[in-house]
Chains A and B, each alone.
Chain A
Amino acid sequence: MPMNSPVIDALLCVGALLGVGAIAAFNARKALTFVYGASAIVCAAGLAIAVAALAAEAPSTVTLPLGLPWIGAHFRIDALSAVFLAVVNLGGLASSVFALGYGRHESAPQRILPFYAAFLAAMNLVVLADDAFSFLLSWEFMSLMSWALVVGHDRAADNLRAGYVYIVMAGIGTLALLLAFGVMAGSSGHYAFDSMRAHGLDGAAAMAVLLLVLIGAGSKAGIFPLHAWLPLAHPAAPSQVSALMSGVMTKVAVYAFIRIAFDLLGPVDWRLSMVVIAAGGITALLGVLYALMQHDLKRLLAYHTVENIGIIFAGLGLALAFRADGLAAAAALAATAALFHVFNHSLFKSLLFFGAGAVQVSTGERDMDRLGGLIHVMPATALTFLIGAAAISALPPLNGFASEWMTFQAVFLSPDLPQWGLRFLAPATGALLALAAALAAACFVKAFGITFLGRARSHEAASAQETDKASLAAMFGLAAGCAIAGIFPGVFTDLLAPATQLLTGGRMPAAGPLLPLAPVAASHNTYGALAVMALLVLAGAATVLVVRLVASRATRLGAAWDCGFPDASPATQYTAGSFAQPIRRTFATIAYRVRETVVMPEPGDTAAARFSLQLHDRAWEALYLPVAKAVGFAADRLNFLQFLTIRRYLGIVFLTLVLLLTVLALWA
């Protein structure tokens, strides 16, 4: 075993992060710069290891004598884990740099710092694990560390509730994954991924595994209707952690899905891919509709994570479908699109959460209806937030456009599929994704416009100040990343090629930095990001030139013209709710049982008119509340079991044993 193998280097990084966490646990009050600085350095090292491993293409493995004695702990880096290792460490690096500044406003650093480093270590471990036991252990460690971060500020009642919902959902998800691994290991109990991969499954067992993984990984990633915890928990944590949870942890869940569904499970039937495609499309649309209804900035961003996870899963489902029918080139396109979107989403979602965090620190507000006009006082934050918003809205030439465009190209290839079910479902999902993309753009017009444009709606917003340099450095870095990945998508699709080769047995045509992106072949549709960029630069330069030449130089800055009524209140501006109203009425009436009531005073009466709006979260009411009620009912009924005598407990154990033995004896 060579000592300089990438997997050992990556494990050393994990060890370093755990060490940082341990140091922080002992001396948290003074360790802020150390923890975030060290985390940033270790994550940068991890990123370098991941990129090198991705370029090297050869998997590297190691077995450590840890964990269960007769199994040991297996770790491995192949192309797929290298991609996600890069995503995890890039997100960790950005968050750590951001937190160097942002973390100074933390009121109780001892509740955040130790768990922050351990959380990063856990996410690295999940991606590296190569047997079911290590995987589940790291997965649960990751859940627990993020839970600790969510409830770090336990004074706010909402945070405790968010933590409770999260830990319950995390438990259910881990249980589903445990069962999935159990089915894959079979009665022979092979828990190493290698032997699972070798043995493969078919029929009912494969279906059970896929559905269990969709529940287990999907609940962590935020697949509808298992997303309920996500918009509660992600905003509750401090912003650098929100960015990690939304931008990175959901991707680790996507990794779990890909690892099991594509790699360990073997060939998947096309009918199962329909489930994944449909789940992706529905999640994308409902996620963005939820987001439109929000006026809490961080919660809006969390719902957009649900939407983007939907896009990723739709791409993965298409890849499964193409692979099942042997269309390797199309499968490679869909898988590359999904993986590229994973990377892109981690960039712009982290960026947007940083922006929201900067706004929260400067104003103390997350409610958009108490913000406004921040572009004047926080111009740099506003610029980076705008770039992130444009990227997530899939505007060229940024990275969101490149990956979503590739997903749509994959949808356009669906007529090649032989099954009618897929031929109908894929374009229908494409339509859902298109609607979701348009609504996402509308949603970010709202988020950016209400927060940064117009006039300040509160004193706090008016007196806000630009955020610190470290935070800005992280935000500008990510914004530059969004632009680079958008303008040179070919570099990234080439980097992803080994991973798609592993997943689908095919790879996209090599593009390089300068050639236009060709999804299948240069004869089909292509996207020349550089040409688009050149066009935009030319158009922009021309506009500036024309403005310079034609417009008057005598400009002055004045108050907004308000039809001759001076001193109009800022409350007369558009609010988040009023901006979303048309979309709410058109699309959300059925989905959310929206009821709007307007009570007008009688003519002549000077009382105020009243407008009230009722929204129902149907997923919550139809799925979660009945389950919660049933559990509560059962708990009430079984409560007496807590107060039995010792002999009765013994008697219950005894009777159960005898009953089971009798059943066994009578079993023919």
Chain B
Amino acid sequence: MSPFDVSHFLAGGLVLLSFMLLYQDRLPPLINLYALQSLALSLEVAQQAQTQGAPRLLVTAGIALVFKAVVIPLVLHRLIRHLRIHRTVETVVGIGPTMLGGMALVGLSMALMMRATSTIDIVAREDMAFALSVVLLGLLMMVTRRNAVSQVVGFMSIENGLILSATGAKGMPFVVETSVAFSILVAFIVIGIFLFRIRERFDTVDVAVLDRFRGERP
């Protein structure tokens, strides 16, 4: 396989995993899928490091591998066991329309990126298009889910998309990469604590309860 094929395969895999995230309604497999997506991301970044000859990207790949493919999923697993929600099945409404919408989003980002980036080389173009798809799918996931944990996973998959786009565009400054990684970590910690607080108070992590608490309609 040529480097282009590998890169294409991995980036496409990221999008495919995004679709699976969108579809999956149980939490432990959801987290595993996220770990898999992060793994694919780190492989893709490592591949880019090779083709672009930019060893700095290997650090990015390392961060993705250690934190996003291993540490965060492990902590999330512990978290949902702690919260005793690892066996619950989330009621994801309108799976069919959501998947169709996701496909439309991928089409949109392809159409947009292929035109907008006609001047740069083909690998980067593909990467940009896939990255935008991953971002949009993550956002769609956050909108359609009610469980706070799956919203967190959606949020972090958006970040995977951002990293993908940034590596495609001839690498990114290491400062930016680390700061994004740390902000994700901080967001993760804050949201984790926040989850416990919600749980303590409301006995559930369904965000709809928060709305009810605010005096909104149920």
Q: Is B truly associated with A?
A: yes
Query: Chain A residues in contact with chain B, CB under 8 A?
Result: 643, 645-647, 650-651, 653-654, 657-658, 661-662, 664-665
A665 touches B146 (CB 8 A): no
B139 touches A654 (CB 8 A): yes
| Interface segment, one of B35-43, B67-75, B104-112, B117-125 | B104-112
B139 touches A657 (CB 8 A): yes
Contact of B208 among A645, A651, A658, A661 (CB under 8 A): A645
Contacts A645-B208, A646-B210, A657-B136 known; A665 to B111 CB distance under 8 Å?
A: yes
Contacts of B146 in A (CB 8 A): 647
- 3 tightest CB-CB pairs across the interface, nearest first? A645-B211, A665-B112, A651-B143
A–B pairs, 24, beta carbons within 8 Å: A643-B214, A643-B216, A645-B207, A645-B208, A645-B210, A646-B207, A646-B211, A647-B143, A647-B146, A647-B207, A650-B139, A651-B143, A653-B139, A654-B139, A657-B139, A658-B105, A658-B108, A658-B136, A661-B112, A661-B136, A664-B112, A664-B116, A665-B112, A665-B115
SS of B interface (majority): helix
> Does B140 sit at the interface, judged by CB under 8 A?
yes
Q: Which residue of A lies closest to B114 (CB)?
A: A665
B108 touches A654 (CB 8 A): no
Per the bound structure, the CA–CA distance linking A650 and B111 in Å amounts to: 24
Per the bound structure, the CA–CA distance linking A643 and B217 in Å amounts to: 11
Shortest Cβ gap from B93 to chain A (Å): 11
> Does B142 sit at the interface, judged by CB under 8 A?
yes
Per the bound structure, the CA–CA distance linking A647 and B209 in Å amounts to: 12
Shortest Cβ gap from B26 to chain A (Å): 20
Q: Which residue of A lies closest to B104 (CB)?
A: A658
B109 touches A661 (CB 8 A): yes
Contacts of B210 in A (CB 8 A): 645-646
Shortest Cβ gap from A644 to chain B (Å): 8
B contact residues, range: 10 to 19
- 19 new A-B pairs (CB below 8 Å) besides A645-B208, A647-B146, A650-B143? A643-B216, A645-B211, A645-B216, A646-B207, A647-B207, A650-B139, A650-B142, A651-B143, A653-B139, A657-B139, A658-B105, A658-B108, A661-B109, A661-B136, A662-B108, A664-B116, A665-B111, A665-B112, A665-B115
Per the bound structure, the CA–CA distance linking A647 and B147 in Å amounts to: 11
Per the bound structure, the CA–CA distance linking A575 and B31 in Å amounts to: 83
Per the bound structure, the CA–CA distance linking A654 and B211 in Å amounts to: 20
Shortest Cβ gap from A237 to chain B (Å): 42
B108 touches A661 (CB 8 A): yes
Contact of B108 among A647, A651, A665 (CB under 8 A): A665
A654 touches B111 (CB 8 A): no
Contacts of A647 in B (CB 8 A): 143, 146, 207
Contacts of A661 in B (CB 8 A): 108-109, 112, 136
Per the bound structure, the CA–CA distance linking A653 and B154 in Å amounts to: 15
Q: Which residue of B lies closest to A651 (CB)?
A: B143
Per the bound structure, the CA–CA distance linking A665 and B214 in Å amounts to: 39
* Interface members, chain B 194-218 (any A CB < 8 Å): 207-208, 210-211, 214, 216
Shortest Cβ gap from B151 to chain A (Å): 8
Shortest Cβ gap from B123 to chain A (Å): 22
Per the bound structure, the CA–CA distance linking A646 and B112 in Å amounts to: 29
* Interface members, chain B 94-138 (any A CB < 8 Å): 105, 108-109, 111-112, 115-116, 136
Shortest Cβ gap from B169 to chain A (Å): 18
Contacts of B139 in A (CB 8 A): 650, 653-654, 657
Contacts of B140 in A (CB 8 A): 654
Contacts of A662 in B (CB 8 A): 108
Per the bound structure, the CA–CA distance linking A661 and B216 in Å amounts to: 32
Shortest Cβ gap from B202 to chain A (Å): 14
Per the bound structure, the CA–CA distance linking A650 and B139 in Å amounts to: 8
Contacts of A657 in B (CB 8 A): 136, 139
Q: Which residue of A lies closest to B110 (CB)?
A: A665
Shortest Cβ gap from B129 to chain A (Å): 12
Contacts A643-B216, A645-B211, A647-B207 known; A654 to B112 CB distance under 8 Å?
A: no
Per the bound structure, the CA–CA distance linking A442 and B9 in Å amounts to: 87
Contacts of A658 in B (CB 8 A): 105, 108, 136
Per the bound structure, the CA–CA distance linking A483 and B210 in Å amounts to: 73
Q: Which residue of A lies closest to B217 (CB)?
A: A645
Contacts of B112 in A (CB 8 A): 661, 664-665
Q: Which residue of B lies closest to A649 (CB)?
A: B143
* Residue with the greatest number of chain A CB neighbours at <10 A, chosen from B105, B143, B208: B143
Can you list, as one digit per residue, whether each of B160-176 has a CB less than 8 Å from chain A (1) or not (0)? 00000000000000000
Q: Which residue of A lies closest to B146 (CB)?
A: A647
Q: Which residue of A lies closest to B115 (CB)?
A: A665
Per the bound structure, the CA–CA distance linking A11 and B216 in Å amounts to: 55
Q: Which residue of A lies closest to B210 (CB)?
A: A646
Per the bound structure, the CA–CA distance linking A645 and B207 in Å amounts to: 9
Per the bound structure, the CA–CA distance linking A650 and B142 in Å amounts to: 7
Per the bound structure, the CA–CA distance linking A643 and B210 in Å amounts to: 12
Q: Which residue of A lies closest to B154 (CB)?
A: A650
Per the bound structure, the CA–CA distance linking A295 and B108 in Å amounts to: 67
Shortest Cβ gap from B203 to chain A (Å): 19
Shortest Cβ gap from B92 to chain A (Å): 13
Shortest Cβ gap from A657 to chain B (Å): 7
Shortest Cβ gap from B104 to chain A (Å): 9
Per the bound structure, the CA–CA distance linking A664 and B113 in Å amounts to: 10
Per the bound structure, the CA–CA distance linking A661 and B143 in Å amounts to: 18
Contacts of A650 in B (CB 8 A): 139, 142-143
Contacts of B108 in A (CB 8 A): 658, 661-662, 665
Per the bound structure, the CA–CA distance linking A419 and B208 in Å amounts to: 71
Per the bound structure, the CA–CA distance linking A45 and B143 in Å amounts to: 62
Per the bound structure, the CA–CA distance linking A244 and B108 in Å amounts to: 58
Per the bound structure, the CA–CA distance linking A262 and B89 in Å amounts to: 70
Contacts of B142 in A (CB 8 A): 650, 654
Per the bound structure, the CA–CA distance linking A200 and B139 in Å amounts to: 45
Per the bound structure, the CA–CA distance linking A651 and B115 in Å amounts to: 27
Shortest Cβ gap from A336 to chain B (Å): 53
Contacts of A664 in B (CB 8 A): 112, 116
